[in-house]
Structure 1
Amino acid sequence: MDVFFEAEPSVEAFEKKLHGIYEQTQASTVLVFAADENNWTAEALNPVLLQAKASVLGGIFPQIIYAQQNYSKGVVFVALQSAVEWASLSGLSDITNNFDRQLEPLAEHWEAMPVPAIQLVLVDGLSTCISAMIDALFMNFGLVNNFIGGGAGSLSFMQKPCLLTPKGMLMDATLLVRLPLASGVGVSHGWQAISQSFKVTSSEKTCVKQLDWKPAFDAYQQVVEAHSGQEFNADNFYDLAKFYPFGVNKLDAEMIVRDPLMLSTDQAMVCVGEVPEGSFVRILNGTEESLLAAAAEACKRAQAAHRQQTDHPVQLGCFINCISRVLFEGDHLKNEIAKVSGDYPLFGALTLGEIANSGKDYLEFYNKTAVLGLLSEVES
C-alpha cells in the first residue's frame, strides 16, 4: 500500500497523478479521497474514471486528511496491488428500497472469500435512508468483518454526484469496497449530556418534529440558549447548533450522536442521519479537551483491536472524522489528528457522518465522531 497526495485541484492534475501512480506502482486499485472544493463535475471526471488503467474507488468529501494536515482542496490516493471486490447500491433516499434484497447475494459471495477483510463503506451523506441501509448491511454481514467509512458530499448541503467508481460518479448511493486487509477500528466522540432525556414523539427520516409531544425546536432552543448564554436568530442556527448535537440513547452502548443541520420550513430539525420515532435523545455539549481525549481513546481502541486480529505491524492509518468537529475546533483540529498519528502513513476524510464497527459491536452511522482504522496487509 502506497499513499500519495496531489494539492492541485483540477481534473487534469488528478488524471496526470493517477496515471503516474499506475506507472510507478502497477496498482490494480486506487482508493481516492477528494475534497469538495476541487469543484469536480461528473461530466469532467467520468471519462477519467472510465478510462483509468486501475479501478478507481472513493468519494468527494468536505475536507480530506493527509499526514498531519486537513485540506479543503486536493486529493489523497491509496494504491493497492491487489484487485478488490466492490459494489454499489442506488436509491439511498428511497424509503421503499429493499436493501436486504440487494445485499443478500453480495454477502453470500463475500463471506465465502478469505478473511481477514475490512469493508470500506461510503455513502452520499445527504441521503435520507442511511441508517436503514446500515442496519441491512449489519444484518447481512454481521460481525465477520470490520467496517469503516463515512458520508461523502458538500457543506453546501446541495446533493450532487460524490462517489467515484470505475463506472462513473454516483449520487444518492452507497459504495461498498471489500479490502483484504487486517484491521483494528476504534470509535469515540467525547460529547457529554447537558439535558434530561426527551422522547422523540414525531420524526420522519432525518427530521425531528416533536420532543415529548412538543415542537422539537422549542425544547432544544430552551436548553441550548440557557446553557450557552446565546440566542438563536433567523441566520445563526448551525453556528450555535454545531456545539449542541443530539445523543440517541442506546442500550449498553455509548450514545449515537446526531448533528442538527438546519430547520425546515415547518421548524422541524433536520439532522445528518435518521432519528427514529420513539427513541430517546439528550442534548450534548463538548469541549476541545473532551474531543481531543476522544480521538486519543479511538486510537487506543484501534490499536488494541488491531493487535487482536494480527501480529503484523500497522502499515496505514485511515482517520474518518466529522466535518462538524472541524467547524467546532478550527485550526486546533491538527491536535486531534496528532492524537491518532503514529509511525504509519495517515490519510482520511472529514465527512458528513461516520460509519464503523470494531468487529465486535453493532455497525452504526455516527455524527461528530472520531473513527480510526489501522490497516495491514497479510499473506493470502
Structure 2
Amino acid sequence: MRAHFDPGGTPDGLLAALHALSAEGTIGGLMVLACDANGWQPERLDPILRGCEIPLFGGIFPQITYQNQNHERGTLLLALGAAPEIACVRGLSEADADFDERVEVATEHWQEPAGATTMVVFVDGLSSRISALVDGLYANFGLENNFIGGGAGSLSFQQRPCILTNAGLLADVAVLARLPLRSRIGVTHGWEPISEPLKVTGARGNVVMTLDWEPAFAVYKRMVEAHSGQEMRAEAFFALAKSYPFGMTKLDTEIVVRDPLMVVDGNHLVCVGEVPEGAFVKLLNGTPDTLIAAARKARELTMPASAELAGPAQAASASYLFIDCISRVLFLGERIADELRAVGHDRPVNGAFTLGEIANTGDAFLEFYNKTSVFGILFDEAIG
C-alpha cells in the first residue's frame, strides 16, 4: 500500500488527492483514514465521495498515524494495487437486527476468492451492537480471512456520521472491504487483572446496569478509588476510567477488554462494545511499560512473516497497518511515540487510533476488542 498524507485535512485536500490518484490509473482501491478534528460534514463530503470513481472505504477517527507519528488533524490515503470488494451493513444499533443475515445479504454479490484475502472492517464505534456484527462476520466467513479494523468516531462520544464510502459519509454502519492480500496479524493489550471476578447481573447491549446485583457505577467507583487513591466523579468519568477497563475471559483469546466511556442514568456504565448479561469481568490496570511491551509483542506475533521480507521484491510489497485504541494514546501521553517506535522501528507504520479494535489472527475467534493494539503486515504484490 502506498501512502499519501494531507496534513491540512480539508475537503479540498481530499478532493485534490483523489484527482491525483485517479489520474495515475493504476490504483485499484483506496483506504481513507481521517481525523475527527478535520470537522468534515456530510453536505461537504458526500459530493466528493460520490464523485470518486475508485472503490473507497474508511473512517473518521480521533487520531491517525502516518509514518510512525500520531496526528490529530489530517487525512491519510492508502492506495491499493487491486480492487477491494466493498459492502456496507447498516443499523448497527438496531436491537432486533439479525447480523448473520445482514452480512450475508450485504456480501452476496462477492465472488469466491481465488487466493488469500484480508478483510478490513470499520464500524461506527458508538453503535451499540458491534459485537453482534462481528459474530455475523464470523458466522459468514469463519477464519478463511484475516480480519483487521476498528471503530470510527469522536472523543466527544456524540454519534455522528463517521464511516467513509463511495455512497457518502454514514453513521451507525459498518463498511467491509475484502482485499486480495496476504497478511499476518498480531493482537495484544498489556492490561492486567487487579480484582476478583464480578458477575454482570444487568446489561443491555453496551450498557452495564448492575455488577453483583449492585448499581454498576457504584461498584466500579468503589474499586477504582480503592486502587488509585483518587476520587472518581461522574462528570469527569473518563479522566480516571481510561486507566481502569474491564476484562472478559474468552476461550482461546487474550482477555477481551471493555472500555467504560461514561455514566448514564445515574449508575449505568456505557462501554465500547457489548458486555453480555451473565458474563464475568475483572477490573484491569496497566502501566506505560506494560502497554508498550504489549504493542511490541503484537509486532513479534507477526514475525513468521519476517522471512517473507528478506528479498527486495517482498519487502517492497509489504505494508504495516497499525490499529490502536485511542484510549492508549490518552493513557500513554507523550510515550505514544515509544509505542509507535516499538512497532515501526524498521519501516513506516500507518493506521488509526480507534474506538475499539476488530481482529483475528487466522487461528483464533474473531473479536471486537477495546484498549488493544492490532498490528498487521499486508503483502501487496500488485503495487510493490
**Fold conserved between structures, TM > 0.5:** yes
Question: 2:278: which partner in 1?
Answer: 278
Provide the residue aligned with 1:184 in structure 2.
184
Distance in 2 (alpha carbons) for counterparts of 1:253 and 1:36: 31
Say if 1:207 and 1:253 are closer, same or farther in 2 by CA, change over 3 A: same
Q: Which residue of 2 aligns with 1:216?
A: 216
Is it true that 1:322 corresponds to 2:325 in the alignment?
yes
Deviating runs (4+, > 6 A) in structure 1? 308-311
After TM superposition, the structure 1 stretch with the greater mean CA deviation from structure 2, 117-126 or 212-221, is 212-221
Is the counterpart of residue 10 in structure 1 residue 10 in structure 2? yes
User: Do structure 1's residue 104 and structure 2's residue 111 form an aligned pair?
Assistant: no
Q: 1:164 to 1:309 in 2, by over 3 A?
A: same
| Offset, 1:343 | 3.7
Pairwise CA distance, 1:29:
1.2
Q: Give the corresponding residue for 2:58.
A: 58
Question: Are 1:373 and 2:373 counterparts?
Answer: no
Alpha carbons 1:119, 1:177 under 8 Å: kept: yes
Q: Does residue 157 of structure 2 align to residue 157 of structure 1?
A: yes
What is the match of residue 362 of structure 1? 365
In structure 2, do the counterparts of structure 1 residues 369 and 106 end up closer, same or farther at CA, with 3 Å as the change threshold? same
Tell me if structure 2 keeps the 8 A contact 1:183–1:309. no
Q: Is the contact made by 2:252 and 2:365 (CA closer than 8 Å) also made in structure 1?
A: no
The C-alpha deviation readout for 1:245-297, integer Å capped at 9, x for no partner, is: 00012134321000000100231011000000000000000000000110011
Deviation at 1:49, TM superposition (A): 0.8
Select between 27-36 and 50-59 the one with higher mean Cα deviation. 50-59
Q: Deviations over 1:277-327 (max 9, x none)?
A: 000000000000000110011001122367699994461010000000011
Mean alpha-carbon deviation: is it higher for 340-349 or for 115-124? 340-349
Partners of 1:343 and 1:106 in 2: how far apart?
38
How many Å apart are 1:4 and its aligned residue? 1.0
Instruction: State the secondary structure of the residue aligned to 1:226.
Output: helix
How far the C-alpha of 1:138 sits from its partner, in A, is 0.6
In the alignment, which residue of structure 1 is the partner of 2:92? 92
How far off its partner does 1:25 sit?
5.7
- For 2:301, what is the secondary structure of its paired residue? helix
For residue 31 of structure 1, report the CA deviation from its aligned partner. 1.0
Q: When the two structures are superposed, what TM-score results if normalisation uses the length of structure 2?
A: 0.94
Q: Does the CA contact (< 8 Å) of 1:315 and 1:344 recur in 2?
A: no
In structure 2, the residue matched to 1:341 is 344
> How far does residue 167 in structure 1 lie from its aligned partner after superposition?
1.3
1:169 aligns with 2:172: no
CA distance in 2, matches of 1:17, 1:107: 29
TM-score by length of 1: 0.95
Deviation at 1:106, TM superposition (A): 5.6
Note if contact 2:124-2:163 (Cα within 8 Å) is conserved in structure 1.
yes
Report the AA paired with residue 349 of structure 2. Answer: L
Deviations 1:31-61 (A, max 9, x none): 1000010000010001111112322211110
Contact kept in structure 1, 2:162 and 2:170, CA below 8 Å: yes
1-structure distance, mates of 2:153, 2:125: 6
What's the CA shift string for 1:36-94, capped at 9, x where partnerless? 10000010001111112322211110100100100010011111232211000000000
SS of corresponding position for 1:247: strand
1:358–1:95 distance in 2 versus 1, CA, 3 Å: same
> Which residue is equivalent to 1:128?
128
Give aligned pairs, total: 380
Distance (whole Å) between structure 2 residues aligned to residue 133 and residue 187 of structure 1: 19
Task: State the AA in 2 paired with 1:358.
Answer: T
Query: What SS is found at the alignment partner of 1:289?
Result: helix
- 1:8-87 correspondence to structure 2 within 5 Å: 8-24=8-24, 26-87=26-87
Q: What SS does the corresponding residue of 2:57 show, helix, strand or coil? A: strand
On the 8 A contact 1:3/1:345 being kept in 2, the answer is no
Deviation at 1:211, TM superposition (A): 0.9
From the superposition, tell whether residues 104 and 233 of structure 1 become closer, same or farther in structure 2 (CA, over 3 Å).
closer
Shift of the 354–244 alpha-carbon distance from structure 1 to 2, 3 Å rule, reads same
Look up the SS of the partner of 2:9 in the other structure. coil
**Preserved contact between residue 317 and residue 373 of structure 1 (Cα < 8 Å):** yes
Q: CA RMSD in A?
A: 2.0
Q: Which piece of structure 1 moves more, 72-81 or 365-374?
A: 72-81
Report if aligned partners of 2:60, 2:152 keep a CA contact under 8 Å in 1.
yes
* Distance in 1 (alpha carbons) for counterparts of 2:234 and 2:107: 47
The structure-2 alpha-carbon separation of the partners of 1:107 and 1:282, relative to structure 1 and needing over 3 Å to count, comes to: same
Moved more, 271-280 or 229-238: 229-238
Query: What is the CA-CA distance between 1:378 and the residue it aligns to?
Result: 4.3
Give me the identity figure in percent: 47
Answer whether contact 1:186 1:305 (CA < 8 A) is retained.
no
Query: Which whole-Å CA distance do the structure 2 matches of 1:233 and 1:261 have between them?
Result: 13
The aligned runs of 1:188-207 (5 Å cut-off) are: 188-207=188-207
1:209-231 deviation per Cα after TM superposition (whole angstroms, max 9, x unaligned): 11111111222112111110101
Q: 1:332 aligns with which of 335, 343, 346?
A: 335
Change (3 A) 1:249 1:310: farther
